[in-house]
Structure 1
Amino acid sequence: MREAALLTLRDAAELVSLAAFVAMIALAARAFGA
């Protein structure tokens, strides 16, 4: 059970970092576009 929770937490952290990366790219694209 603890391993499953840790795996879920790791996946959540990976999704958050990926979302932050995509958001940074979107902001950079908007800045260069403007």
Structure 2
Amino acid sequence: TIYQARAYLVTLEDAGVVEKMNAGKGVSGRWRLV
């Protein structure tokens, strides 16, 4: 589900693998590999 994907991305972010880019909406955001 999208919630599982979000949790997965959050885990990666905590690991320093990805970084969340806010799109200015506040709720939605873009993810990109760093």
TM-score if structure 1 supplies the norm length? 0.46
- Higher normalized strand content (fraction of residues): 2
TM-score of the superposed pair, with normalisation by structure 2: 0.46
Bigger-Rg structure (1/2): 1
